[in-house]
Amino acid sequence: MTRREMQKRMLLGAAGLAAAHHMPAFAQPATPVATAKAVIQIWMWGGPPHIDTFDPKPDAGYDYCGPFNRPIDTNVPGMQIGQLLPQLAQQADKYSIIRSMTHGNNGHETASYIVQTGHKPGGRLVFPSLGAIVSKFKGYDTGYSSLIPPYVVLTQSQGRFDPAGFFGPRYKPFVTGGDPNASRFAVEGVVSGNISDERQKSRRELLHSLDSLKQALPEHPVSMKLGSLEDKAYEMILGDAGKLFDLSTEDNELRQRYGRNRFGQSCLMARRLVGAGVPFVTINYGGWDTHKQHFQSMRTKLPQMDAAMATLLQDLKDHGLLDSTIVWWSGEFGRTPKVAWPAPWNGGRHHFGQCFSALLAGGGFKGGKVIGASDATGEKVAERPVYPPDLLGSICERMGINPDESLPNRRGMELKVMASGEEFGEGGGRLTEIV
């Protein structure tokens, strides 16, 4: 509640409060109590197939299921998932599945925007992504002081739109680059293995002695800024912050369980980052835009995803981090339940924003639940639609961010953190079922 609102409420007194539910300005809930400190966003770039993962339809027939028509039981009675996810089946008590995600858009760029910002396209502004929102409310503006930036993307940008939106560059993510599965995870700028600490120090002195323009302009704001950024950079380069990215200190057997591949080791890295207090980590997991030869791709990709995510959930739990860390798995949309068999697709699945799945775990969300349902073929939402702002707004609430709060912007417009689900359609609403 802002100070002004507080004053208004005090002035209105009891009579005012009694009438408050008729007046939208006063209907704003107070900032919710945070149950989570961090979010790990597993971004399924390209759009994962809901029907082969968390919303199997074994009775829909071969034209829908292809070869994957034997879903498996999980450790939660009555909850089944796709047959290529046996390890995740054993972790189902830790996560809930939403099978009724919908926004209706089939374009990567627009759907990526909708799912990651909780706003419809159009209007005259680009809204910030959830990562930028967390970075604003839980980052440097509000006392976060770690050298590791508050919003980290492993390992490449998602692209498609500017994730900071109208918040501007300060809230952009730090994109690591490098490969956490390599012998050394070369996080751009932070880890540079070829240079000894001694050489780092001596060449820094060389830079100081030769930086003639900076010397000629000692008081210039740019000189001062560069100086302070350089100090901070070397604290990171020579200090302990960089060691956070050194995965070689992790137990080898654990690394194997995550999977010795980019995604598996990114999940491990994400656990280390949230363990170090970073409030938002995105793992940008590409390769899901499987228009062609979809099933062949799934046979390699899904086991990889299965091992990494199942290990992540268990490992977060083992480190006592699961209760304070939300894991959010989603792509920009699902994929057409009906298989495109003819050439050139040869068994492909296309974009599908009408109905898809998402997964939430930890941070105060209950596990072992299924929210909503799709119809018999996974093509329509049958029960309890969940629109992107419903899901994102629920994450915000767990993080102690009021989704209805107004965002500062240079146009002085009334802009909320999340759009109302009603803008998207009827019957939605925040995920009260799992909090």
Partner 1 sequence: MKRFLFAVAVLTAVCSCHAVAAALSPFESETWSIPANGVDTRILAVLKQKGIDPAYPCSDEVFIRRLYLDVIGTLPEPSGVPGFLQDDRPGKRARLIDDLLERKEYADYWTLKWCDLLRVKAEFPINLWPNAVQAYHRWIWNSVKKNRPYDEFARELLTSSGSNFRVPPVNFYRAVQSPEPPALAEAVALTLMGSRVGSWPADRRDGMAAFFSRVAFKGTDEWKEQIVQCDPAKRDPFKALLPDGTTGRVEAGVDPRVTFANWLITPENPWFTRSIVNRLWAWLLGRGIIHEPDDIRPGNQPVNPELLSYLQQELVGARYDLKHVFRLILNSRTYQQSSIARGRQEEAEALFACYSIRRLDAEVLVDALDWLGGRGQNYESRIPEPFTWIPEEQRTIELADGSITSTFLMMFGRPPRDTGLESERSTDATDAQRLFMLNSTDVYNRISRSLRLRRITMAAGGDRVKLVRGLYMTLLSREPTMAEQTKAESYWQNSKSGSNEAATDLAWALINSMEFMYRH
For residue 408, what are the contacts with CB-CB under 8 A and spacing of at least 6? none
CB 273 within 8 A of CB 244: yes
Please identify, using beta-carbon distances, which residue of 53 and 112 lies nearer to partner 1: 112
Q: Please say which residue, 203 or 260, places its beta carbon nearer to partner 1.
A: 203
Distance CA 283, CA 40 (A): 7
For the chain, the 3-state helix, strand and coil shares in percent, each to the nearest 5, are: 40, 15, 45
Give the rounded distance of the alpha carbon of 306 from its chain centre.
18
3-state secondary structure of 274: helix
Least separation in angstroms between residue 277's CB and partner 1 is 16
Q: Which amino acid is at 265?
A: Q
100: part of which helix (H) or strand (E)? strand 95-101
In whole angstroms, the minimum distance from the beta carbon of 408 to partner 1 comes to 15
CA 143/CA 227 separation, integer angstroms? 22
Sequence letter at residue 396: C
Residue type, 389: P
Which residue, 70 or 203, has its beta carbon nearer to partner 1? Answer: 203
Whether the Cβ atoms of residue 153 and residue 173 lie closer than 8 Å to each other: yes
> Least Å distance between CB 353 and partner 1?
14
Q: How far is the CB of 356 from partner 1 (least distance, A)?
A: 18
C-beta neighbour count of 309 within 10 angstroms: 28
Q: Residues 6 or more apart from 28 whose CB is under 8 A from it?
A: 1, 5, 402, 404, 405
Nearest-approach distance from CB 115 to partner 1, in angstroms: 12
How far apart are the C-alpha atoms of 135 and 152, rounded to whole Å? 10
Judged by beta carbon, residue 83 or residue 110, the one nearer partner 1 is 110
Closer CB to partner 1, 6 or 207, in the complex: 207
Cβ at position 390, least distance to partner 1 in Å: 21
Q: Rounded to the nearest whole angstrom, what is the least distance from the CB of residue 76 to partner 1 in the complex? A: 36
Q: Taking the complex as a whole, how short is the minimal distance between the CB of residue 157 and partner 1, in angstroms?
A: 5
Select 219 or 253, whichever has its Cβ closest to partner 1.
Answer: 219
Distance between CA 372 and CA 425 in Å, rounded? 15
What's the min distance (Å) between Cβ of 401 and partner 1?
23
**What is the contact surface with partner 1 in residues (CB under 8 A)?**
107-110, 112-113, 121-126, 149, 156-162, 165-166, 168-170, 172, 174-175, 177-178, 186, 188-190, 192, 194-195, 198-200, 202-203, 206-207, 209-214, 216-217, 219-223, 225-226, 229-230, 232-234, 236-237, 289, 411-412
Closer of 342 and 412 to partner 1 (Cβ): 412
CA atoms within 13 A on the CB side of 258: 25
For residues 75-110, b (16+ Cβ closer than 10 Å) or e, as one string? ebeebbbbbbbebbbebbbbbbbbbbbbbebbebeb
User: What is the full DSSP assignment across 119-163?
Assistant: --S-TT-PPPPHHHHHHHHHSGGGT---SS-SEEEESS---SS-T
Residue 232 or 243: which CB sits closer to partner 1? 232
Q: Name which of 189 and 425 has its Cβ closer to partner 1.
A: 189
- Closest CB to partner 1 among 168 and 320? 168
Tell me how far apart the alpha carbons of residues 214 and 230 are, in angstroms, rounded to a whole number.
Answer: 13
Q: Which residue has the tokens 């062609």?
A: 292
